[in-house]
Structure 1
Amino acid sequence: MPLYDPNDPYAVDLETRLVEIQAGMHARDLDLYLASRIRTMSFVLDAFVPWRSFMVIPAEGLPTVFTFVIDSARLLSETWLDEDHVRGYFGASGADQIEVIQYFIEDELGITKGRLGYESGMATYTAEGWMTHYEYERFRDALPGFEFVNAHDIVDQASLIKDEGTINRFREAGRIVDAGHKAAREAIENGGWKGMTETELAGIAALAMRREGSVSEWNFAGLNEISSGWRTGLGACTPPTTKEFAAGEALMFDLHAMFKLALGDHSHNYLIAPASERQRWHADNFVACVQFVADSYKAGATPGDLITECGRFAEERGCSD
């Protein structure tokens, strides 16, 4: 098992994480847990796993991860597992992920029947990693002696309360994003925005965050999300374009950083002078609503509660539309 260094502010106790997952498996009478989500890989392996991968967790002992063969050596170098527990699959007939995992379970683990937990559900995030219907049918046919049980809540429960190392990682990721915003503002103020495009601003912010220790702008939402003018009204996930900034426009800079798998993510909005009274009215309402949510954020509050209460607050201000 990996050694936990209490003197490292970013250390996470991976042994405890595995023990808690296996305790959840025992409580559900599961013989195996077949993980497919990115969050589960990150939680157990403490490494970046971008390719389609699966991880077999037995009721006792170490997990084994199966990833696309071109990335298996890199993953082995970054995780705590040894080469026996980091495997590559080719994706071709006879050596695809389904067949490789079937042989591993039956021939190496010696398990041919029992209860197998897997991860199925839905999310707003495309690359969540839920087992697809096709994968489910293939695994079910390959492992006919097993009862398949949707058990993603075992990992969700184990990861619900963050340890100190994880919290510190998120704080550092947030600090890195702050550095990106500082560089972005310095780049556009005092007329610096003239002739600048959304893509150029995105690069300036990305470079600043990389210099501070970010390893990725985590790209499922289009890397850093930069919009200007009419594009600020499109909502989230606005990958930057070659559109140039212009006087009188609104700007939205939503920056992303990654530090030790923790993601930093927050945005700032700007108005390029001259700002109209209506623009100032929208800006003041936005600031008031954000402050209201921050003041209402407390133990026991749910996202639904905050949305409902903020909606009422916006109605009182006449800006709910």
Structure 2
Amino acid sequence: MNIQVNYSNRIKRMIEQMQALGIDALIGTRMVSVTFTAGAFAPWRGAVIVTRDGYVGLINFMIDQERVKAESWLDEIIAYAPIPGMDMPDMVVYKIKELGLEKGVLGVELGHSPRGNTGYLTSTEYDLFKEGLPEATFVNALDVVDKAGYVKDPEEIVLMRQATAMADSAIEEVRKALCVGMTEAEAVGIGEMELRRLGSEYHWAVTGSTEAASGYRSCYHMCGTTQPTDKILQAGDNMIVDFHPTYRTFMSDLSHNYLLGKPSPEQQKLADAYLRAAETLVTNLKAGNTIGTVWHAVNDSLTKDGYIQYTVPFFGHGLGVLGHEWYPPIGNAEPYTEIVLEENVVEVGFLSITVPGVGGMRLECPIRVTSTGGEMLSATPLAMTVVDI
């Protein structure tokens, strides 16, 4: 797909955030910061450096150097090696000094996350930066990339649609293949093959790559992540699949629910309540609404239907380039509730309702915020698919 990303626009937005925080240079170590800035898949530990006067460079692991140089738009990509004097922190210190910013205000990325591979600065790296740059002032700068990447450019949304279309096709291939006697892993493997056929470059989720759950595994209490296993699908099982393709560093996150055979009355009741909550979520992802407004609307729907006690109490997360799978989450907690949704923000609508002895329903779907409500980037329906067995 011949789509040109406007990297200059990204950097301009980052510098605006840096200026607001009084930062001379950002040292970005999170995966989202490296990917967003460099525009290439750089899975090893690394750091981007962006200065207020427009310098942009990447410190990258030497074994990935030539590929990343070929795929990134950056002019300067500096290799590091995990040996004393040449490791990533050493090369960052060297570059900051070369830029004449050893006495400047340096933004770093300090924090924590439920995700295990986010790339926040480690305490050891922080100590090495402070030791190597004793006259610098360090400040936390998570807002720089989070806010710069909040609203998506038109070409970025096109790439996200492409990644989501791959997931749509994988979900359809699973539907056509599902039958009693298959294993969960076998079923979603068919979908994964379709993702690769269509050009997905990386199945990014840390939760077992593609996720799947059937029968009793679909209804673990408050469960929202399930790696596929060798459990055999049986008549009456509901089946959750959840795909995570990537296209040109942009991610998708799309799940769907199936029922093998005719649903029981309780399964149908659950599916109906799930659909009402999912539609409420999509409708309320509207420019001008706050995160708190969206959360309360979905919470009220689930409370009215009697399923709130079975539901994971947050209803979505941000989406973008690799690593950007959080800001802003749709939860009922500071500092997110007062964030105002803007047009062309993309959120993954999330629902996980798990009722012991009945089944589980999961929604993950990329949704573009518009002035009239949410626009699903996917063609996969929200409603559960009943598979004739």
Instruction: Return the TM-score normalized by structure 1.
Output: 0.90
Name the count of aligned residue pairs: 307
Extract unaligned runs of 5+ from structure 2.
Answer: 310-389
- Equivalent residue number for residue 34 of structure 2: 41
Would you say 1:249 and 2:237 are equivalent positions? Answer: yes
141-150 or 297-306, which moves further after superposition?
297-306
For 1:229 and 1:303, how far apart are their aligned partners in 2? 33
- Structure 1 Cα separation of the partners of residues 2 and 90 of structure 2: 41
* Superposed counterparts of 1:106-145, under 5 Å: 106=97, 108-145=98-135
Measured in 1, the distance between the counterparts of 2:278 and 2:203 equals 24
1:164 deviates by: 0.5
> Does 2:304 correspond to 1:316?
yes
Q: Tell me the SS of whatever aligns to 2:206.
A: helix
1:80-91 correspondence to structure 2 within 5 Å: 80-82=73-75, 85-91=76-82
Q: 1:97 aligns with which of 88, 97, 102?
A: 88
Q: Provide, for residues 27-48 of structure 1, a one-character-per-residue CA deviation record: whole Å limited to 9, x for no partner.
A: 4332221111111112121111
Structure with a larger share of its residues in helix: 1
- Which structure has the larger Rg over C-alpha atoms? 1
Partner of 1:4: none
Q: 1:279-298 maps to which residues of 2 (within 5 A)? A: 279-298=267-286
Tell me which of the two structures has the higher relative contact order, counting C-alpha pairs closer than 8 angstroms and 6 or more residues apart. 2
| Larger proportion of strand | 2
Aligned-residue RMSD, C-alpha: 1.8
Q: For residue 253 of structure 1, report the CA deviation from its aligned partner.
A: 0.8
Q: Distance in 2 between matches of 1:288 and 1:71?
A: 47
**Percent identity of equivalent pairs:** 32
SS at structure 2 position matched to 1:156: helix
Maintained 8 Å contact 1:30/1:117? yes
Match of 2:164 in 1: 174
In 1, Cα distance between equivalents of 2:125 and 2:303: 47
Cα deviation for residue 218 of structure 1 reads 1.0
Distance 1:10 1:124 in 2: 33
Q: Helix, strand or coil for the counterpart of 1:128?
A: coil
Amino acid aligned to 1:228: S
Choose from 150, 165, 182 the match for 1:196.
182
Q: CA deviation at 1:195?
A: 2.2
Partner of 2:72: 79
Describe the shift of the 1:295–1:60 C-alpha distance in structure 2 as closer, same or farther (beyond 3 A). Answer: closer
State the shift of 1:274 in Å.
4.3
Unaligned runs of 5+ in 1: 1-7
The reply to whether residue 164 of structure 1 matches residue 139 of structure 2 is no
Q: State the Cα distance separating 1:105 from its structure 2 match.
A: 2.1
2:287 counterpart SS class: coil
Asked if 1:18 corresponds to 2:8, the answer is no
Offset at residue 22 of structure 1 (A): 2.6
